[in-house]
Amino acid sequence: MSTIHKFDLLISEVGPRDGLQSVATTMATADKCAWIDALVAAGVQEIEVGSFVSPKLLPQMADAAEVVQHAIRHASVTIMALVPNIKGAEAAMRAGAHKITLPVSASPAHSMANVRKTPEQMLEQVRAITALRDEIAPQVHIEAGISTAFGCTIQGPVPEDDVIALAVACVQAGADESGLSDTTGMANPAQVKRLFTRLRSELGNQAGAAHMHNTRGLGLTNCLAAYEAGVRTFDSSQAGLGGCPYAPGASGNVVTEDLVFMFEAMGLRTGIDIERLLTARNTLARGLPGEALYGMLPPAGLPKGFKPHAYALRSAV
């Protein structure tokens, strides 16, 4: 799972979930599976493939179980799903997901808008879900993703003490790890470094992923700051698809292509082949014709003479 990395760091591709739930078009199941296959062929080690929510709320995710069942055929890849409640968690575990992620918002206002529960009620869900996991699928890894960890579009700033306390409470409630999400694209590198440093001092190896958005252009700088604070798992979305439908204006996950390029150029091994990642981008484009795709590396191409790991023997930042 995420705490055991085969490479220098783990890029957790969230596009098939976070990206696809945010676009109006519903991608056909076969196209989702082809995209996931292409991501696996590029060397992606972990993929969040769907969300187990009511199809009335998110029709784009109605085939989540089918997609999980397809994706888990790739034996070497961790297949994740997002679940907002125990019903979704049971469905995800029964479908065979290796890892599930629970969004737990540090902003009460955002929590109500997103999952219609207070943060305290979500902690009860964490307890119930981890108990169910112990009973029916003890091998499943459970991550709490603390959303609005760096600010909320509804309430504004979110106290850092609240964020850290909630992340710790999720682990105490049974989650295997707690990560921090910049749901709203409000984070800055100093804040990211400060919060992840605190998180790691509280939770050690149970401190989880950095999930950054690029709303104001700081997505990659925030990943770099998180890396410097010791984070080794990064969520991103191919072509920058996605965002949070309940955080107005907060569209835009970090672009996987640009993130992988940054780390590989620094000499850090992601396990991902950039050329094949661009092939997967084409597969995505075929499945979502007309959808805007983002990223700077894809149109520019790799620099002349670029060799991944060219600096691997030198120290990184």
> Of these, 43, 84, 295, 308, which contacts a copy of itself (CB under 8 A)?
295
C-alpha 227/C-alpha 222 separation (Å) is: 9
Please choose, out of 91-99, 117-125, 130-138, 296-304, the segment that lies near a copy of itself by the rule CB under 8 A: 296-304
Marked catalytic residue, from 152, 170, 223, 244: 244
C-alpha torsion angle, residues 160, 162, 165, 168 (rounded to 10)? -80
**Interface with a copy of itself (CB under 8 A), residue from 57, 131, 136, 316:** 316
Q: HEC states along 201-222?
A: HHHHHHEEEEECECCCCCHHHH
Residue 21 phi, psi (nearest 5) = -75, -10
Structure tokens at 137: 């699928």
Q: Classify 116 in phi/psi space as left (phi over 0), alpha (psi -120 to 50) or beta.
A: left
Part of the chain binding a copy of itself (CB under 8 A), chosen from 90-98, 141-149, 201-209, 295-303: 295-303
Residue 248: CA count within 13 A, CB half-sphere: 3
Distance CA 105, CA 126 (A): 12
Query: Within 10 A of 94 (CB to CB), how many other CB atoms are there?
Result: 13
* Residues 250-269 contacting a copy of itself, CB under 8 A: 255, 258, 261-262, 265-267
Least distance in angstroms from the C-beta of 92 to a copy of itself: 33
Options 186, 199, 241, 260; binder of a copy of itself; rule CB under 8 A? 186
Candidate ranges 40-48, 109-117, 180-188, 283-291; the one touching a copy of itself (CB under 8 A): 180-188
- Our CB check for a copy of itself shows the closer of 36 and 250 to be 250
The answer to whether 183 and 213 have CB atoms below 8 angstroms apart is yes
Taking the least distance from each CB to a copy of itself, the nearer of 177 and 258 is 258
If you write DSSP's letter for every residue of 132-168 in order, what string do you get? HHHHH-TT-EEEEEEETTT-BTTTB---HHHHHHHHH
Tokens found for residue 182: 């910049």
Among this protein's residues, is 244 annotated catalytic? Answer: yes
- Asked if 190 is part of the footprint of a copy of itself (rule: CB under 8 A), the reply reads yes
Residue number with CB closer to a copy of itself (92 or 146): 146
Contact region with a copy of itself (CB under 8 A), list: 27-35, 56-64, 114-122, 183-191: 183-191
Least distance from a copy of itself to the Cβ atom of residue 234, Å: 13
User: Does 152 sit near a copy of itself (CB under 8 A)?
Assistant: yes
Return d(Cα 7, Cα 127) in angstroms, integer.
32
Asked if residue 220 binds a copy of itself (CB under 8 A), the reply is yes
CB 145 within 8 A of CB 208: yes
Helices (H) and strands (E) in the chain, counts: 11, 8
Residue number, 126 or 212, with CB nearest to a copy of itself: 212
Stretch that binds a copy of itself, among 15-23, 94-102, 112-120, 213-221 (CB under 8 A): 213-221
Judged by CB, which is closer to a copy of itself: 167, or 297?
297
Chain residues 234-253 in contact with a copy of itself, contact rule CB under 8 A:
249
Q: Which two tokens stand for residue 57?
A: 């709320």
With CB under 8 A as the rule, give the number of residues binding a copy of itself.
49
291 φ/ψ sector (left φ>0, alpha ψ -120 to 50, else beta): beta
Which residues form the catalytic set? 244
Chain positions contacting a copy of itself, by CB under 8 A: 151-157, 184-186, 188-191, 193-194, 214-218, 220-221, 224-225, 228, 249, 255, 258, 261-262, 265-267, 295-297, 300-301, 303-306, 310-311, 314-317
